[in-house]
Structures are given as C-alpha cells and as structure tokens.
C-alpha cells in the first residue's frame, strides 16, 4: 500500500510539473512573438522578419503565391515598400506536447501615410506557426494575416 501511495504521489507531481513546464514554454513562445513585433517596431519589418524566419519559412500574402524560403522572403522584403510600420500583439500561444512546434495568433496594426500625407492605421488578425531550430530557438515556418478589424464603411 505504501508503494502505491508513493507511485501515485510521483505521478500526480509529474503531471503538475509537466503542466507548469508546458505553460512556461507557451509563455516563452508568446514572448518570442512579442520580441518579433518589438524588433519590427524598432528596426522595421524587413529586419524583424529576416531575424525570426526559419530557412524554410513561408509567407502567405494576399494576391500572390506563397513566398517560400528565407532567400525568397528576403528578396520580397528587399523589393517591397518599407514606408510603413507593422506591429502586432499575440493573444494566444500553444505548443505541441514535444515542445518543438507551436503557433501564436493575435492582432496587428499597419501604420502608413496615404497619398495626402495623412497617417492611416489598418488593423487585422494574424497567425504564425513556429518551430524550434537546431539551437532550440523559435523560428517561424509560416506567417499570414487578414485585414478587417476596422469598422465597416458607412
């Protein structure tokens, strides 16, 4: 009976530790997404995306085929308009039981000047899928967003 009690205590303790550890890992992934946004705010989208993308990372953007791989994303960012600021805030993060794959989703703000020089802000939602690299750092393997959090036009 004493052995059964000890085994039961070990199992319960292990499950509680595992859940606590999993929550810490989710928080770490959420913080990675926050760091990703902060770098975008401080140094621009190009620097941020190139710092956090996996070698095989993919961007899904409206009206274009998927942009696949670091070099293709770099080329897109080098050729694109950079006269805007993109920031975001994760609302949720989850990871696989193995701790190697995860995702975040949340809201973003895109701020730019229109043709008349007035500042415009567009809001939307996003999802980013993350995978740990060989050094144990989170890198995104897929990123996409959707516009549409503005009130409908009247």
- Render pLDDT for 126-137 as a digit per residue (tens, 0 to 9): 999 999 999 999
Q: What is the mean pLDDT of residues 93-119?
A: 94
Using a pLDDT cut of 70, give the percent of the chain over it: 85
SS3 of residue 102 by DSSP: strand
Domain 2-147: CATH architecture, name and number where available: Roll (3.10)
Q: Where are the domains of the chain?
A: 2-147
Tell me the β-bridge partners of 108.
Answer: 88, 124
């Amino acid at each position: 009976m004493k052995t059964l009690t000890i085994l039961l205590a070990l199992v319960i303790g292990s499950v509680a530790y595992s859940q606590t550890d999993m929550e810490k890992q989710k928080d770490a992934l959420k913080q990675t997404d926050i760091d990703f946004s902060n770098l975008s705010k401080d140094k621009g989208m190009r620097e941020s995306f190139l710092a956090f993308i996996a070698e095989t990372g993919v961007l899904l953007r409206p009206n274009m085929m998927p942009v696949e791989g670091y070099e293709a994303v770099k080329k897109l960012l080098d050729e694109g308009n950079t006269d805007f600021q993109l920031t975001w805030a994760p609302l949720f993060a989850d990871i696989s039981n193995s701790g190697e794959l995860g995702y975040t989703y949340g809201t973003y703000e895109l701020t730019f000047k229109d043709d008349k020089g007035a500042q415009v802000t567009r809001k939307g939602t996003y999802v980013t899928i993350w995978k740990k690299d060989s050094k144990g750092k989170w890198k995104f393997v897929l990123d996409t967003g959707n516009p549409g959090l503005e009130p409908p036009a009247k």
